[in-house]
Structure 1
């Protein structure tokens, strides 16, 4: 009997930007990395990934993700097929992009958006349902490219909101529980169930947490 298929996605968030530091909503604004301040996190992530190989790379088409990918795969850029995909962009925060919580917190529409856990779209932006819809389409394309009895590993460079939404779907956790820091992410492993549907069998932090000191 052929071995069951296995899909592994290493999904990481881009490195630090100036707007991250200022705690501004970035959304789909094309903000570059804050260099050299972003380098410690990027170097740590590159060290984690330097011994790993992948069958493909998927990356948001925004500059901060492209820069992150270039840094963490430096010297191996041409090793794997790379797909730049707008479906992996951050949630579109509409009128809130470029603004901070402190600037917005007294506005009723903003409070309603926060209380809805993103289900209500911000003015001029996307709801989390909109984000989930495009991520579902992207994930369907990924699994459709995986043979049922093969093993496939992919590196995915995306955004905090993308990882939050993937964790909500595959880990079943609450909206506010799925955040990850810049240049960090999650490793999702999928296997085929009895009806040959891909199911998430495990999720773990990337980089892995340091072992506790005895």
Structure 2
């Protein structure tokens, strides 16, 4: 008999650095806290990136839950590009090369896409081996894009997926299909009332 496992991926609330369009992969910054956040999402386990913006979002959304933190749910490490904007980097040769082929080149002193992918897959493995039917993961935009490009029923490239800050998506699958890394059966968008904060 198939055992079902839904995983909801929520993008953290917006930060000042996000609004300034800075690269903040592993930079540890706080969120701009939204007012009156409410939702009806029931989670058996809440996991999150260990970075502050995700931990804060998880505690705002699930104040009565134990939150499991892991560096594996972090955004890509942008290395020397951290804290900078496109305008500041556009004439840098290494940045242009990375923009042209981010799946092949890494930011200087940053993470390759292959390292990023392997780290996320380890995190997914941890989630799918739990004896529950619903896991919520509070993470980053790049992580969610990767998950959707790999596991959504609708096949679309990495850059064509977008989840706004403070929103998410639930992927429905069986544990067996998750373990075999098969695409999900269905997905649904998740919205939080009062989460609009820029």
Q: Does 1:154 align with 2:135?
A: yes
**1:155 to partner: Cα distance:** 1.0
**1:189 to partner: Cα distance:** 0.9
Q: Quick one: distance in 2 between partners of 1:122 and 1:106?
A: 14
Residue equivalent to 1:39? 34
Indicate if the aligned counterparts of 2:128 and 2:175 stay in contact, CA closer than 8 A: no
Q: Does 1:27 align with 2:51?
A: no
> How big is each residue's C-alpha offset from its partner over 1:106-128, in whole Å with a ceiling of 9 and x where there is no partner?
22211111111343111000122
Runs of 4+ in 1 over 6 A off after TM superposition: none
**Number of paired residues?**
188
Greater C-alpha Rg: 1
> How big is each residue's C-alpha offset from its partner over 1:182-207, in whole Å with a ceiling of 9 and x where there is no partner?
1012111112568x736311123222
| Secondary structure of 2:31's aligned partner | coil
**1:86 to partner: Cα distance:** 0.7
Change (3 A) 1:192 1:56: closer
Q: Does 1:203 align with 2:187?
A: yes
Change (3 A) 1:66 1:193: closer
**How do 1:48-63 residues align onto structure 2 when only pairs under 5 Å count?**
49=39, 51-63=40-52
TM-score with structure 2 length normalisation? 0.86
Q: Quick one: distance in 1 between partners of 2:6 and 2:44?
A: 10
* Equivalent of 2:174 in 172, 191, 204: 191
Indicate if the aligned counterparts of 2:6 and 2:135 stay in contact, CA closer than 8 A: yes
* Equivalent of 1:133 in 99, 109, 118: 118
Residue equivalent to 2:196? none
| Secondary structure of 1:39's aligned partner | coil
TM-score with structure 1 length normalisation? 0.80
Q: Pick which of 57-66 and 184-193 moved more.
A: 184-193
Q: Pick which of 109-118 and 62-71 moved more.
A: 109-118
| Secondary structure of 1:23's aligned partner | coil
RMSD: 2.0
**For structure 1, which runs of at least 5 residues remain unmatched after alignment?**
209-214
